[in-house]
Chain A
Amino acid sequence: RKEVEQDPGPFNVPEGATVAFNCTYSNSASQSFFWYRQDCRKEPKLLMSVYSSGNEDGRFTAQLNRASQYISLLIRDSKLSDSATYLCAGGPYNNAGNMLTFGGGTRLMVKP
């Protein structure tokens, strides 16, 4: 079973739409979670950290559900510039390497 799984999409949405992505993780020891954005042939860039209480940054809201082992990302009022691949990542605190495992990414295409 993959450690971090995402629906690859693509999600094709019109400008202004609300879109949500989920990401499931299998390692129950994972304690830190993040959403990254990756543009074509570029490096992943942090979009937001994901906290147990949920967090919001402008049009973006992230939630963590530990019981069901998934994290979510909600994008409101989609812009053309939101078109990208969204990667979720998670990892435990209890190993010296503190590595993060990435999902395969969900591709979002926002159309005019």
Chain B
Amino acid sequence: EPEVTQTPSHQVTQMGQEVILRCVPISNHLYFYWYRQILGQKVEFLVSFYNNEISEKSEIFDDQFSVERPDGSNFTLKIRSTKLEDSAMYFCASRPGYGELFFGEGSRLTVL
């Protein structure tokens, strides 16, 4: 069964450092997403990506965040200068169209 894969599963970084989280969405899907979940809180939308560009982003997704689809398979989330409050689980998801979201297992980011 095809799945969304994410790396790394856990990353620990120092405040102010850049972090890149990687995702390989399901190959025939058209929409790609990043969500995050701070421990004990809700799953929050960050950004959606369609047709090689950002289609929507939330207030959380400020200038410190960027996304890229550098080739036909990878979809990355970059945080330029991490803050303590960026510590969270980051979920990549993809969607074929209007159906369900398929989530990866998540990348846990710990900012010290």
Q: Chain A binding site: helix, strand, loop or mixed by DSSP?
A: loop
Q: List which A30-78 residues lie within 8 A (CB) of chain B.
A: 32, 34, 38, 41-46, 49
> Which residue of chain B is the closest to A44 with respect to CB atoms?
B103
Instruction: Say how far B99's CB is from chain A's closest CB, in angstroms.
Output: 7
For this complex, into which size category does the number of interface residues on chain B fall? 20 to 34
Residue A108 at the B interface, CB < 8 A?
no
Q: A45 vs B35: C-alpha distance in the bound complex, in angstroms?
A: 14
- Total A residues in contact with B, Cβ cutoff 8 Å: 24
Q: A103 vs B41: C-alpha distance in the bound complex, in angstroms?
A: 10
Central interface residue in A34, A45, A99, by most chain B CB within 10 Å: A99
For B89-112 the 0/1 string (1 means CB < 8 A from A) is 101000101111111111010000
Q: A32 vs B98: C-alpha distance in the bound complex, in angstroms?
A: 8
B interface residues, Cβ below 8 angstroms from A: 31, 33, 35, 41-45, 48, 50-51, 55-56, 89, 91, 95, 97-106, 108
A interface residues, Cβ below 8 angstroms from B: 32, 34, 38, 41-46, 49, 87, 89, 93, 95-105
